[in-house]
Amino acid sequence: MSVATPPHSRGPNVVANCVRTRRGCNSGDADAAGMAESRVMSEPTTPLPEWKASADDERTVLTEYLDYFRAVLSRKAEGITEEQARVAACPPSDLTLIGLIRHMAEVERTWFRRSLMDEDAPPIFYGAAHPDGDRDGDFHPPPDATMAAALEVYWAEIAVANRNIAAHSMDDLTRGNPQAGSTLRRTIVHMIEEYARHCGHADLLREAIDGATGD
């Protein structure tokens, strides 16, 4: 599975369109404008870590920065309605908050189970697991998918990932694909990069939906 950001989600037009949508000026996306007007701003339930890293050793810095971004992404997806979770608020991108949570659950599964452990861990949300066989099905939830279910899978995959990380040193090599033979260190750095990118996407989506900002 590719973990790269879809090409259509890149570029300056995304930011510009998000701003227009939040202000209700994008007549082509009335649903997103309606979400912005509702300004539903419930508090997130996931606590934000007090520190991004509580010590300076390599393992603490890498694993706690990863945990920090995991929490931020979850918080961006909490306190909204199921309708809001599906709003592609930054056209022309079709990214949604529920899609980002589903995607990152798959990414955790890919790197810390299939890659690190060489585990047979088939996709949960895309390909054969999607009712339409959609190869990008993690980003494209079917009608019966819910944010609550997506978050449950997300945190379950993180729990497994953390157990696998704890059982290895930073110099241990991944045994499966993608990128068999990479150090755990490199895998975690890749995951921090992945989260940093998608937390930025989530920032734009959430502010466009209900005006909520911050970690």
In the chain, the DSSP E strands lie at none
Residue 41's pLDDT is 57
Residues contacting 52, CB < 8 A, separation 6+: 64, 65, 68
Residue 141 covered by a domain: yes
Q: How confident is the model at residue 101 (pLDDT cuts 50, 70, 90)?
A: very high
Under DSSP, the state recorded for 183 is B
Q: Which domain holds residue 109?
A: 10-210
pLDDT of residue 20: 43
- pLDDT score at 42: 76
- Are 175 and 167 in contact, with CB atoms under 8 Å apart? no
For the cut 70, the answer to whether the pLDDT of residue 37 exceeds it is: no
Q: Which of 47-51, 80-84, 95-99 has the lowest mean pLDDT?
A: 47-51
5 in any annotated domain: no
Question: Average pLDDT in the 174-186 region?
Answer: 96
Average pLDDT over residues 96-111: 98
pLDDT at 17 > cutoff 60 = no
Q: What is the average per-residue pLDDT within 194-210?
A: 97
DSSP 3-state of 16: helix
The predicted-structure confidence for 181-192, as pLDDT tens digits, reads as follows 999 999 999 999
Domain count, the chain: 1
Q: How confident is the model at residue 45 (pLDDT cuts 50, 70, 90)?
A: very high
Rounded to whole angstroms, the Cα distance separating 52 from 92 reads 33
The predicted pLDDT at position 97 comes to: 98
pLDDT at 43: 82
Which pLDDT score, from 0 to 100, does residue 27 have?
34
Q: What backbone torsions phi and psi does residue 173 show, to the nearest 5 degrees? A: -100, 145
Is residue 152 a part of any domain in this protein?
Answer: yes
Residue 4 counted as domain residue: no
Count other C-beta atoms under 10 Å from residue 87's C-beta: 24
d(CA 33, CA 20): 9
The answer to whether 118 touches 176, Cβ cutoff 8 Å, is yes
**Of 36-50, 120-134, 151-165, which range is least confident?**
36-50
pLDDT tens column, 135-149: 999 999 999 999 999
Domain-embedded: residue 121: yes
| Any domain includes 93 | yes
Q: Computed from CA positions of residues 143, 144, 146, 150, in that sequence, does the dihedral angle turn out positive or negative?
A: negative
pLDDT at 24: 40
Full-model pTM: 0.83
User: How does the average pLDDT of the chain come out, rounded?
Assistant: 86
- Residue 202 domain-assigned (yes or no): yes
pLDDT digits over 61-73, tens only? 999 999 999 999 9
Token pair of 14 as six digits: 């995304």
Q: Is the CB of residue 76 less than 8 Å from the CB of residue 201? A: no
pLDDT at position 74 over 50: yes
Judged by DSSP in three states, 173 sits in strand
**Residue 185 belongs to domain with CATH number:** 1.20.120.450
Q: How confident is the model at residue 71, as a pLDDT?
A: 98
Does residue 2 lie in a domain region? Answer: no
Phi-psi map region of 181: left, alpha, beta (phi>0 left; psi -120 to 50 alpha): left
